[in-house]
Amino acid sequence: MLACLVVIMSYLAARLGTTVVIRPHLDWPLWPGNILLASVLLLAPRRAWPILVAAALATFAVYDLLIGISIRSIIFFQLSDSTEALTAAFGLSYCFDGVPQLNNVKALAKYSFFAVLLAPFVGAFFSAFTTHGEYWRSWSISFLAQALGYLTLMPAILGWVSKRSEWAHASRSRYFEALALLSGLLVLGYFSFVSPSSMVVPVLTIVPFLLWAALRFGTTGVSTLAIAVAFLAIWGAVHGRGPFVALGPAHDVPSIQVFLLLVAAPFMVLAVVVEERKSAEHALADVNRKLIEAQEKERSRIARELHDDICQRLALLVLELQQLEGDTSNLSAGEVGGRLNELGQQTSEIVGDVQALSHQLHSAKLQILGLAAALKSFCKEFEEQQVAEIDFSSHDLPRLLASDISLSVFRVAQEALHNSAKHSGVRHFGVRLWAEQGALHLTVQDAGSGFDCEAAKRGRGLGLTSMEERIKLVNGTLSIASQPRRGTTIHACVPLSSGEDPLRAAG
């Protein structure tokens, strides 16, 4: 069924492509067939690629034969189509591990390299042989045609498919806004590119609408409008109308292509920047929500420990003291001393537990003794509480260390050890603290079950996010190396010059 759908879409794409041929050189300013094929490959499982590629190429070949294209040209078209589509599909699927999501500048840069530059660059070497004119002129037109398609048509296809559920639940006002945007562009675009006499300057038509699309509809909106503008401009040139006809047959196709690329590219970048900022605002909102939840959980834990443990033991201690007071006349001095010794031990245990709870909230040793000593002491307490073994080492630390750096690194070590004890499945950990080349380094290692870092960050937990945010506060970086059943290594690196608070001893 998918192969039959590809056959139908490929035939329609070929028909559409032949309607925008500009004579007398029979040049295609935009050829949608390859872009459609590459888009389908990215959306389909890889095991189906051979069948889909064969179905599309066969459709293109049959259509070319029907319209009278020579066998020689068909062979080069087939080589160009297959090379270009597979280059784009393999490159993008490798970089994005699936369907490309153009929601940040880095993603757009990777997409542009493989789809907008590399794939058209390779495919143009074959398609340029299909004409009898100058080879490099044909190569440049073919390259620009495919680059334009990959910059506009493919993001529109992938965007509409990947965001179909979002549009299915969109409000009615959202649909009216999109309809108004597209309708306004088509009406004014007609008078700029298609009408017998151009009544509106093209820039005045395109810029406001593309700006509207970039701010409100992202890359999908920009690419959709860019496709509409491209077909209006090409349709006008095919019928001898619009601003590009006056340049002459030898220059109208390249001028259309360059104009459309220069118009679409900056607004795609703007749309990506806007989407990246919106995404950052939503990450930030999610972190704030998780932080509030974590605070409430911590308060609940402390309240529970105080009520269920400390308060109960104190109440029991008071009862035993009252009982001892009533029994003093019936007990010997030795028995009273023994009971008092027992009650003293219970009191010491309660004091120790309160101190441990206090250390979890704030370590006085960190301020008094420094980072290394405080972290070493915490590791010993952690060993006793978790029945674990920790290999701690520190070396080459500076004599003075900023307090904000010390606190951030100490909290990261705490969180990392708690996560390892909870999720790794092992009871042996390694903690190393050292300074090197103007930076403070911390590693926490285990040889446990490991985990998928990206999946963990997308989860509801706050551990990894809180560690990253703490390190960012002191201009540091946090890297996590982990694989299922191969252990985990967390490495924090903080420049020693990033501290702002008064310096304290490193320990």
Q: Which two tokens stand for residue 65?
A: 């034969």
Whole-number pLDDT of residue 115: 94
DSSP 440: E
Exposed/middle/buried for 3, CB within 10 Å: 0-12, 13-18, 19+? Answer: middle
Cis peptide before 24 (omega within 30 of 0): yes
Q: In a structure prediction context, what are the per-residue pLDDT tens digits for the chain, which is 507 residues long? A: 889 999 999 999 988 888 877 766 667 788 888 899 999 999 999 999 999 999 999 999 999 899 888 899 999 999 999 999 999 999 999 888 778 888 889 999 999 999 999 999 999 999 888 876 688 888 988 999 999 999 999 999 999 998 888 888 888 999 999 999 999 999 988 888 888 776 667 777 788 999 999 999 999 999 999 999 988 888 888 888 877 776 555 556 888 888 889 889 999 999 999 988 888 887 877 777 776 676 667 677 777 777 777 777 788 888 887 777 777 777 777 777 788 788 788 888 787 777 767 666 666 677 778 899 889 988 998 898 888 999 999 998 888 888 889 888 998 998 899 888 888 889 999 999 999 988 999 999 998 888 777 666 666 456 777 788 888 888 899 999 887 778 899 999 999 876 655 545 455
Q: Angle, nearest 10°, between helix axes 371-386 and 403-423?
A: 20
Pick the CATH number of 362-505 from 3.30.565.10, 3.40.50.10490, 3.40.50.1820, 3.40.190.10: 3.30.565.10
Q: In 3D, which of 144, 138, 89 has the Cα closest to residue 121?
A: 144
Strand partners, 489: 445, 481
**3-state class of 411 per DSSP?**
helix
Biggest CA–CA distance in the chain, Å, is 122
Contact 368, 404 (CB under 8 A): no
What gap in Å lies between CA 491 and CA 8, rounded to an integer? Answer: 53
Q: How far apart, in whole angstroms, are the C-alpha atoms of residue 365 and residue 407?
A: 11
Positive/negative CA dihedral, 99, 105, 108, 114: negative
Token pair 């004579």 in the structure block, residue: 23
- The position carrying tokens 């903690």 is 431
- How large is the C-alpha radius of gyration of the chain? 34
Task: Return the SS3 of 13.
Answer: helix
pLDDT in tens, 446-499: 988 887 776 666 664 567 777 888 888 888 999 998 877 788 999 999 998 766
Pairing assessment for the beta strands 428-436 and 389-395 based on DSSP bridges: parallel
Give the span between the Cα atoms of 16 and 138, in whole angstroms: 20
For the stretch 290-330, pLDDT in tens is 766 766 676 777 777 777 777 777 888 888 877 777 777 77
